[in-house]
Amino acid sequence: MIERFFVKVQTQDRIRASWLGEPIERYVTWLHDHHYGARNVYRRVPILVRFAAYTQSRGAKAWTELPHEVQPFVEQWIRDHGSRCRDERGRKKLINSVQGPIEQMLRLVLPDFPGSRRSHLPHPFLEQAPGFFGYLHEERGVRPATLHHYDHCLRSLECYLRDLGMIALKDLSPTILSAFVTTRGQQWGKCTINGLCAVLRVFLRYLHREGLTSCDLSSSIEAPKRYRLAEIPRCISWENVGRMLEAVDRRTALGRRDYAILLLLVTYGLRSREIAALTLEDLDWERERLRIAERKAGHSTAYPLSPIVGEAILDYLKHGRPNTSDRHVFFRVLAPPTPFTAMAISGRAAHYLHKAGIAVARRGSHTLRHSCVQRLVDAHFSLKTIGDYVGHRSPDSTMIYSKVDVEALRDIARGCAEEVV
């Protein structure tokens, strides 16, 4: 396949592309190794040939000069082809289709080339409290996902203080902190605000411990009231679970993967990150066991492997999973085939709930986890057994499902006619 691409390159303009022949060849080899389709490669190679001719016409003689030529080339391409774009969205799509292949190639030949990808932002308040995130990781043992949550919340505080023209943390006061929480409360949900307040308390106690503030302001953070068992689980009926599974096209690799993922969600009530972390070693075919390691509660669980779930996973492994040395079970279908993420799993669950026309307040993988738990409650399993089954850290997490008999309430909602005398 690679040879055919270079025949095409040479027929387009052998002389103009000659000085970038090696980078283009290396890039095409990379595309082939990462399972990009032939159609995708045929579309990218002519763009690189045009870029080579453009840079040569502007006197470029070394690969290190190429990064400065990317933006001018893209702007010229937009002038030549942008008339076909109907709106700003189409224009951005065209820019990405041209700029993306060029920057991918440059990242292969120039290791220090950052491209237009957003660089990783430093942690908030890094200059004034440089040891805080190290303290979270080393002393408190905070997981990477929770560190990301801290980063997000404190970055929001940093932006808020910057808008006020306030820079020094020593100038923080209960009034400013209260105003910040109130402002974010108008934008974020109650559960998110409670998480924000918890982050602020930890941060403020650390600042006082390190002598960065004169007093401990953590007591001035008041989270909104949340009443125990006030919320109803966002689950769907088992009939709707069947409708959602029927909406999956299992004839394709994408459908086989998604069907196996959905079955894992509704059968075992797994979290999306637990499915994303599954490896081939977690599937014990001889003893028909499914192992879930490093659960949120800090333990691992071994489930009997359901025949239906096992057949779905096996169908994906045989006819959908890419040929890769990576031991993760689930992968992206589009190139490059990288392991599926927890966010992507939740997105696929939301997609099929929408496709099946199932109305739910917040679509996602947790909706299916709630549905699994609710089915166990309806089957009269004890709350302790259910909590152990789905990996709840505390019995209180399972208690919310005990306060409402969904099926009984559904029968009441349907109504039973009374005779009127």
- Distance, in Å, from the CA atom of 393 to the CA atom of 386, rounded to the nearest integer, reads 11
Of the residues 27, 206, 268, 401, only one is catalytic, namely 401
Choosing from 44, 250, 321, 369, which is the catalytic residue? 369
Two structure tokens written together for 46: 């002519």
Say whether 50 is catalytic: no
First vs last C-alpha separation in the chain: 83
Rounded CA separation 363/292 (Å): 24
In DSSP notation, 42-100 reads HHHHHHHHHHHHHHHHTT--SGGGTHHHHHHHHHHHHHHHGGG--SHHHHHHHHHHHHH
Rg of the chain over CA atoms, in angstroms? 27
- Please give the biggest Cα pair distance in the chain: 98
Q: Among this protein's residues, is 150 annotated catalytic?
A: no
Residues in the chain: 421
Is there a catalytic annotation at residue 148? no
Give me the catalytic one of 348, 366, 370, 375. 366
**Is 369 annotated in the active site?**
yes
Active site residue 352: no
Between 88-109 and 38-57, two packed helices, what is the crossing angle to 10 degrees?
A: 80
Selection from 284, 254, 233 nearest residue 355 by Cα: 254
The H or E element spanning position 365 is helix 365-378
Burial (Cβ within 10 Å: 0-12, 13-18, ≥19) of residue 157: buried
Smallest CA-to-CA distance from 369 within 292, 274, 300 is with 274
Contact 316, 257 (CB under 8 A): yes
| Catalytic annotation present for 401 | yes
Determine which one of 35, 155, 296, 355 is catalytic. Answer: 296
Could you say which of 44, 250, 257, 271 is catalytic? Answer: 271
For residue 89, with 0-12 CB atoms within 10 Å meaning exposed, 13-18 middle and 19 or more buried, which class applies? exposed
Spatial separation of the C-alpha atoms in residues 290 and 309, rounded to whole Å: 10
Query: Catalytic residue positions?
Result: 271, 296, 366, 369, 392, 401
